Structure 1
């Protein structure tokens, strides 16, 4: 697990928690503004140190810490998830991009008899109770932040040994909590998945709208159906939907009809998608405040490496090289 990591924005939650207790200076240096990730080993050590410094009950430290979670602690992924329509959509987006936040064991989101199951195995190792409990409690708290409702878990499982008292966990999660299980998982009820989100973050939407507007201005110079398709695609990329069926649905036509129309214009869906992504990438990369990992997420890539490969194909340059050449 030496190469695993968590988002620096997520680690800042811990420093904010300790600052509220007046003990942040005793924890050490927070992640630098230039850091996007923190090694898991360091994160675990910070949690252990903070638990010792926290004057509250040690058994419930992770639960108290998680109560301070906000979308900003999940970085751009958290803000983008908040821009979704329902809790189910937000959770699917978090699952697609979870490696940008918590690069330990892979998350699987799947329907189950009780609703939706979010599950983590142990393929890459066991990070320990402090890491696991903070992550799962934070995710549960985030569902409440997203919806503004007291969402309760149908069930929660942990791979770690059972603590002496499970009642604080049951009270926090709102349902039965088991320990010593084969996997870590959270089950949410079907009716909660349809809950609307309380509203998107204004700062993120301003960023997305400004960048998208630049592309739409370019699109306005294009006549015919291509302009309509590209305008629709800008919004879909923004929401993480980058399949031909997504565009067809938004245009109220079948995927086959859309493919035929694209062929008539001498295009394929992948070419149209690539061209649109490249134009958006140019706009995002000109903004020095947007990190490369965030650009990848804004363009619907699950990993920065996939974006880097695509950008090299478009321009012959790595995104960082392109940014340096076009910085003002």
Structure 2
């Protein structure tokens, strides 16, 4: 295992776009390093640190990570945004964030553990001083909080936020952003939540992607003969199950209040199988995900609940006759032609 002192990591490409958007909004000079990380899937953590240092040098003020986080959009956080929209509670979203956070911000290991009997701590392991600064720490926390604010219906009730660096002059800016006490020169960088906050529901009214996927699933259903209400519920259950990696037939049948055998007989009456229905949904999801240039093939494979990227690539070639890379390139070419015609 790599030792922490050698740890560097990488950053999701969407965060490079975030810094570009922020820099443009503030009228900052776009550095060569920032320009080079546009439209890439990932870039090295040391480059992330370098770009942030350059922005800090131009603005020369504290709480900069909080300012940057104000510009975060779901597209900047990629796979986590897709997954969050299939979660039901804050606790489930945090669990999924823990599972996949390194795909977004691989700056330091993330730990979720009990703080005391009434609170839970989400903390980052401390990195060597040459890899971390106050701005890298605060943007990691602030981006996570903004991510949660996109999807939490009733707001986020934090108990406390801790940083390891020296106390700045404008502590009130931090407390206003996090809406809770913020302490500096602590042993750990961490967010502390009340345990009861884990039951807060995920917002249902603004699931743009989820609605899009459901519409596509409905369109797929319309191609089937004798489509029933059961088919529609099955399609939706598989779609959500894939995003949660919980799509096995026994689990799906239970959600539909059926036995596994009853579900299999229903599908046999339509001359299909459960596995074929899963593959149909995977195909429509893959087409949607491949149009997001910031999602890597590895991340798309995870979203489709494939254990290996190679398995996804083989399946996609069987569906379309093209590799995912070829399909993505062709789609981009087609879209560019449409734009040129307009």
TM-score (norm 1): 0.73
1:262-287 Cα shifts (integer Å, max 9, x gaps): 798999xxxx8865553334334446
Unaligned segments of structure 1, at least 5 residues:
none
In structure 2, the residue matched to 1:118 is 122
Alignment of 1:194-273 (within 5 A): 194-199=199-204, 201=206, 203-213=208-218, 215-217=220-222, 220-221=224-225, 230-231=234-235, 233-237=237-241, 239-242=243-246, 244=248, 246-252=251-257, 258=260
Alignment of 1:42-81 (within 5 A): 42-54=47-59, 58-81=61-84
In structure 2, the residue matched to 1:289 is 291
What's the CA shift for 1:308? 1.1
CA distance in 2, matches of 1:63, 1:263: 52
2:3 maps to 1:7 = no
Alignment of 1:100-139 (within 5 A): 100-110=103-113, 113-122=117-126, 127-129=131-133, 130-139=135-144
1:147-167 Cα shifts (integer Å, max 9, x gaps): 365534213334x43335583
In structure 1, the residue matched to 2:340 is none
In structure 2, the residue matched to 1:179 is 185
Asked if structure 2 preserves the Cα contact closer than 8 Å seen for 1:63 and 1:172, the reply is yes
User: Which of these residues, 84, 88, 91, is aligned with residue 94 of structure 2?
Assistant: 91
In structure 1, the residue matched to 2:336 is none
Asked if structure 2 preserves the Cα contact closer than 8 Å seen for 1:118 and 1:187, the reply is yes
Residues 64, 229 of structure 1: alpha-carbon distance in 2 compared, 3 angstrom cutoff: closer
Asked if structure 1 preserves the Cα contact closer than 8 Å seen for 2:156 and 2:197, the reply is yes
User: Which of these residues, 188, 194, 197, is aligned with residue 193 of structure 2?
Assistant: 188
CA distance in 2, matches of 1:52, 1:136: 21
SS at match of 1:23: coil
Q: CA RMSD in A?
A: 4.2
CA distance in 2, matches of 1:297, 1:275: 19
CA distance in 1, matches of 2:69, 2:183: 16
What's the CA shift for 1:240? 1.6
Residues 125, 208 of structure 1: alpha-carbon distance in 2 compared, 3 angstrom cutoff: farther
What's the CA shift for 1:213? 3.5
User: Which of these residues, 146, 149, 154, is aligned with residue 144 of structure 1?
Assistant: 149
What's the CA shift for 1:63? 2.3
CA distance in 2, matches of 1:227, 1:28: 50
Unaligned segments of structure 2, at least 5 residues:
1-5, 332-342
Residues 212, 163 of structure 1: alpha-carbon distance in 2 compared, 3 angstrom cutoff: same
Residues 228, 30 of structure 1: alpha-carbon distance in 2 compared, 3 angstrom cutoff: same
Residues 231, 146 of structure 1: alpha-carbon distance in 2 compared, 3 angstrom cutoff: closer
2:24 maps to 1:19 = yes
Residues 186, 85 of structure 1: alpha-carbon distance in 2 compared, 3 angstrom cutoff: same
1:109-132 Cα shifts (integer Å, max 9, x gaps): 356622443233358998402222
SS at match of 2:156: coil
CA distance in 2, matches of 1:316, 1:46: 39
CA distance in 2, matches of 1:151, 1:275: 41
1:31-64 Cα shifts (integer Å, max 9, x gaps): 6664121211111101000011125xx2222222
1:192-246 Cα shifts (integer Å, max 9, x gaps): 333334446565235423443355346x35999x958852542333542415474
Asked if structure 1 preserves the Cα contact closer than 8 Å seen for 2:86 and 2:240, the reply is no
